[in-house]
Amino acid sequence: MRKVFHFDSPPERYSCDAAVISCFDQRFGLATRKFLKRKGIVRPDAITIAGGAKSLASPLGEYERTFVLEQIKLSQRLHDTRRAILVNHTDCGAYGGLARFKGDFASESQQHCLDLKQAAAILKQSIPDLSVECFFVAFDGVLEAEAETAGHVG
């Protein structure tokens, strides 16, 4: 191979602040990164997959759920991860977009809240010592899913 770019990356192992499961839709990437930074998460293990928490709550196939759970377990083993943050967003194509909800943001956010709750429960069942937090990113900011509704632990 031929070096095409030089950059000195730190060789030391690190501890991760949280495994962050989110969608790969980059319309919400900057808002999500800024939000995570505000929460003190500067070293996330990012697990990006279409639909984010949908891959745990209602995956296209069991392979999606298995993949995400294995990624979190690897994050725990390699980077001492103790916390997971689930991030869904409005107008997500994996859900059929806002159009699937006929433009009704309340209906859409309610569905995402239910999926976040189910995904959090699946995580807690599979990895009991993992702290789980759930968020929904709208075009104008980030909403925290209600603790009892979203399966927020810790």
What CATH number is given to the structural domain containing 52?
3.40.1050.10
Q: Going residue by residue through the chain (154 aa), what tens digit of pLDDT does each one get?
A: 999 999 999 999 999 999 999 999 999 999 999 999 999 999 999 999 999 999 999 999 999 999 999 999 999 999 999 999 999 999 999 999 999 999 999 999 999 999 999 999 999 999 999 999 999 999 999 999 964 434 333 3
Which residue bears the tokens 């995580």?
Answer: 123
The pLDDT, as a whole number, for residue 149 is 37
The answer to whether residue 113 is domain-embedded is yes
The answer to whether residue 1 is domain-embedded is no
The answer to whether residue 90 is domain-embedded is yes
Q: How far apart (Å, rounded) are the C-alpha atoms in residues 8 and 78?
A: 21
The pLDDT, as a whole number, for residue 148 is 45
What sign does the dihedral 138-139-142-143 (CA atoms) show?
negative
Q: Which domain holds residue 103?
A: 18-150
The pLDDT, as a whole number, for residue 70 is 98
The number of domains in the chain is: 1
The answer to whether residue 127 is domain-embedded is yes
Rounded to 10 degrees, what is the CA torsion of 145, 83, 70, 149?
-20
CA angle, corner 117, sides to 130 and 16, nearest 5?
A: 30
The pLDDT, as a whole number, for residue 129 is 95
The pLDDT, as a whole number, for residue 40 is 96
The answer to whether residue 49 is domain-embedded is yes
- pLDDT tens string 104-133: 999 999 999 999 999 999 999 999 999 999
- Find out whether 153 and 124 touch, Cβ atoms under 8 Å: yes
Q: How far apart (Å, rounded) are the C-alpha atoms in residues 148 and 131?
A: 14
The pLDDT, as a whole number, for residue 27 is 97
The answer to whether residue 2 is domain-embedded is no
The answer to whether residue 65 is domain-embedded is yes
The answer to whether residue 8 is domain-embedded is no
Q: How far apart (Å, rounded) are the C-alpha atoms in residues 90 and 24?
A: 13
